[in-house]
Amino acid sequence: MKKNNKIFPRQSWTFDKYTNSEIRRAAETGIYDIRGGGSKRRLPHFDDLLFLGASISRYPLEGYREKCSTNVTLGTRYAKKPLELEIPITIAGMSFGALSGSAKEALGRGASIAGTSTTTGDGGMTPEERGQSNHLVYQLLPSRYGMNPDDLMKADAIEVVIGQGAKPGGGGILLGQKISDRVAEMRTLPKGVDQRSACRHPDWTGPDDLKIKILELREITKWKVPIFVKIAGSRPYYDTALAIKAGADVVVLDGMQGGTAATQEVFIENVGQPTLGCIRPAVDALQDLDMHRKVQLIISGGVRNGADVAKALALGADAVSIGSAAMIAIGDNDPKWEKDYNKLGTTAGAYDDWHEGNDPAGISTQDPKLMKRLDPIKAGKKLSNYLKVMSLEAQTLARACGKNNLHNLEPEDLCALTVEAAAMARVPLAGTSWIPGINNK
Amino acid sequence: MKLDLRKLKLRKINETLQSIDPKRNNKKYTILNPEGNHAIGVGLTDDIDITVKGHVGYYCGGMNQNANITIEGNAGTGVAENMMSGKIHVKGNASQSAGATAHGGFLIIDGDASSRCGISMKGIDIVVKGSVGHMSAFMAQSGNLIVCGNAGEALGDSLYETDIYIKGKVKSLGADCVEKKMDNKHLKKLDKLLKKANLEKLKSKDFKRYGSARKLYNFKIDNVSSY
């Protein structure tokens, strides 16, 4: 055919450029793609909801003067010492190993300044993190890498990790490049091996066993600290109900936008439910068991700003948790390292090969030279600034809805921009009173 | 000192055992009527002797440090889970996941142990006088698992640096687990552990040693059929 400049070459929607590049990459390497982060595809999300604000029928609060409380208490069900946090935004579990020691320290510093908690991860508790965290949640993961009773007794709460939004039903990976001497020692592994974290706990299966496991943890810690149960956004109604039945003080529910240090791309993009679709079923479970506000619900997976915080709380959550956003706040994917990202074949904002340990920002690495790029004190300050901004934003929205406490926000304050979001959040589609599927939850 | 689970709550018994004052407290304790209760003697930190008169439920001696616990009966799931040090002796049989993820200490099971014995073990020494079930020493990282009877399917699947010694038959080996040469160093170590378990009559040369082939330590596409 002759060249005709009036005809625009048509690209396939099915075989788009990214898809084609993945086919070529698989053909070239013979291995699936492993990466960090959460789902990158367009998903129904908090952006698809809007606050209605007050008007004649609702009375707003003065934006800068009237009180709007942000504090939250986690673990009121059984623990003698619940976590008292100043803001309802916590830092999610991220491992030393996946992150550098200074990055973990920065997270602890930032969280402490802002009056909230941070969380360990696979690989145990580091002194830097414990030392800089006023409230530290200690994770009990299937691998039990670095798990020891002395650290357990130093924890302010324990989080039994069952699932992660990025990979419900999947275990973890920490590739050999990141198994430094210190990481290897903490995990009792040979240096340089590709470390696999199991997808199931080694000493319990199912909700009846989980109840006994929680009993054991309470007996060891003398019933002092709250026990969280973290689940992935898989079957949020049943998993929340079973976690409550097993005796959880707090349920942490992580939707598919929630990040991971490393797993298969096919897993991240094809397993689990969007965060927005998980909240109402989890709240249903709490309400059906008369446990709403008695067992606290923490929502994570794609929380980025105060609007997301306010929307999650309006749908019934007690708090949210951030991981990816906290990493960005301390410097992950910062355009100032663009040249270095380019050398790695990527660009700022898209860098997700966290497992390879070459992070130009010095966060997801164990390379001493790169680690020096992150100043934990400055990075901690940035995180605390960001957390405070999120809180202020959430307060602004709550006051506009006439609420003197973030936890007084409710679904009635919201409408949805899309049919999908209306169905998932169970709020009316904008301009209508229609809530799709309301009689069929 | 006798602690009766029919008269005292579990919390009270564990609190007593977790709060030992070495100057004032007795160092020998007997737990009566365990009746399959869970989480007995967990989170202990002191060098004390405990005898449990009967069967225990899940996680007896969990995360133990220093204590010496004898169970005069059978043990439920996860006996000695994540133990750091000390000794736990089960005079009967043990259910699944005995010694799971344990970092140290010594676990002796006079009878059989069910599936996943020594799963993800991180330094503990385990001696089972009977046989072990399937997937024992799965992803085991460090320490020694000694089995005087037989081992079930997929022994040592995906293990790292644990040494496994089996006297009887192995139904099948898991991914990356292979039989290894028993040299003097291993014979000596095994003799020492058998002696520690009062099994001097057994000869270390009658055991076979299994460990990691280390082929799956780093992912290679050519090994994909092993996963």
The alpha carbon of residue B206 is apart from the nearest alpha carbon of chain A, in Å, by 29
Instruction: State residue B225's pLDDT score.
Output: 65
Average pLDDT over residues A125-151: 94
Contacts of B141 in chain A (CB under 8 A): 187-189
**Which of B58, B116, B142 has its CB closest to that of A202?**
B116
B85 close to A (CB below 8 A): no
The alpha carbon of residue B200 is apart from the nearest alpha carbon of chain A, in Å, by 30
The alpha carbon of residue B113 is apart from the nearest alpha carbon of chain A, in Å, by 14
Distance CA A161, CA A275 (A): 17
The CATH class given to the B2-226 domain equals mainly beta
Over the stretch A97-112, which tens digit does the pLDDT of each residue have? 899 999 999 999 999 9
Q: Which 3-state string (H, E, C) describes chain B?
A: CEEECCCCCHHHHHHHHHCCCCCCCCCEEEEECCCCCCCCCCCCCCCCEEEEECCECCCCCCCCCCCEEEECCCECCCCCCCCCCCEEEECCCECCCCCCCCCCCEEEECCCECCCCCCCCEEEEEEECCCECCCCCCCCCEEEEEECCCECCCECCCCCCCEEEECCCECCECCCEEEECCCHHHHHHHHHHHHHCCCCCCCHHHCEEEEECCCCCCCCHHHHHHC
Beta strand A250-254 pairing with B28-32: unpaired
Query: Do the chains contact at A202 and B161, CB–CB below 8 Å?
Result: no
Assign A173 a pLDDT band (cuts: 50, 70, 90). confident
> ipTM value of the model?
0.96
Contacts of A31 in chain B (CB under 8 A): 219, 221
Both tokens of residue B29? Answer: 């304790």
**Which of B63, B97, B119 has its CB closest to that of A149?**
B63
Over the stretch B148-170, which tens digit does the pLDDT of each residue have? 999 999 999 999 999 999 999 99
Type of residue at A75: G
Q: Give the residue on A whose Cα is nearest the Cα of B64.
A: A149
Structure-model confidence comparison of residues A157 and A172, the more confident one: A157
Query: Do the chains contact at A144 and B101, CB–CB below 8 Å?
Result: yes
**Which of A176, A203, A212 has its CB closest to that of B218?**
A176
Predicted TM-score (pTM) of the model is: 0.95
Instruction: State residue A159's pLDDT score.
Output: 98
Compute φ and ψ for B23, nearest 5 degrees: -80, -30
Q: Is the pLDDT of residue B117 over 90?
A: yes
Domains with residue ranges and CATH for chain A: 34-408 (3.20.20.70)
The alpha carbon of residue B11 is apart from the nearest alpha carbon of chain A, in Å, by 7
The helix/strand/coil state of A122 is: coil
Contacts of B101 in chain A (CB under 8 A): 144, 147, 202-203
Instruction: State residue A176's pLDDT score.
Output: 75
A77 close to B (CB below 8 A): no
Query: Do the chains contact at B82 and A149, CB–CB below 8 Å?
Result: yes
> What is chain A's length?
441
Residues 6 or more apart whose CB falls under 8 angstroms from that of A222 comprise: A80, B15, B18
Q: Is the pLDDT of residue A177 over 80?
A: no
Q: In the Cβ-directed half-sphere of B118, how many Cα atoms lie within 13 Å?
A: 42
B81 close to A (CB below 8 A): yes
**Which of A31, A190, A204 has its CB closest to that of B160?**
A190
Query: Do the chains contact at B81 and A203, CB–CB below 8 Å?
Result: yes
DSSP E strand boundaries for A135-180? 136-140, 157-161, 172-174
Alpha helix (H) residue ranges in A289-375: 306-314, 324-330, 338-343, 368-371
